[in-house]
Amino acid sequence: MTEIVFLLEEESAKVMLEQVVAQLVIARSEVQTRFIVFEGKQDLEKNLQRKLRGYVNPKAKFLILRDQDRDDCRKLKKRLKAICDAARRPDAVVRIACRELESFYLGDLQAVEKALSISGLGAKQDKARFRDPDQISMPSSLLEKLTDNRYQKVAGSRAIAPYLRLDANRSRSYLALVGGIRKCLGT
What mean pLDDT is reported for the chain?
Answer: 95
How high is the pLDDT of residue 1? 80
Using a 10 angstrom Cβ sphere, with 0-12 exposed, 13-18 middle and 19 or more buried, the burial of residue 55 is: middle
All CATH 3.40.50.360 domain ranges of the chain, comma separated, are: 2-100+170-185
- Tell me the C-alpha distance between 121 and 115, whole Å: 11
CATH of 2-100+170-185, one of 1.10.10.10, 3.90.1170.50, 3.40.50.360, 3.50.50.60: 3.40.50.360
Q: pLDDT by residue (tens digit) across 93-116?
A: 999 999 999 999 999 999 999 999
Q: What DSSP string runs through 1-44?
A: -EEEEEEESSHHHHHHHHHHHHHHHTT-TTEEEEEEE-SSHHHH
Q: Which value, in Å, is the radius of gyration of the alpha carbons in the chain?
A: 16
pLDDT band at 30 (very low <50, low <70, confident <90, very high): confident
pLDDT band at 33 (very low <50, low <70, confident <90, very high): very high
Q: Taking the complete model, does pTM exceed 0.75, yes or no?
A: yes
How high is the pLDDT of residue 76? 96
pLDDT of residue 26 exceeding 90: no
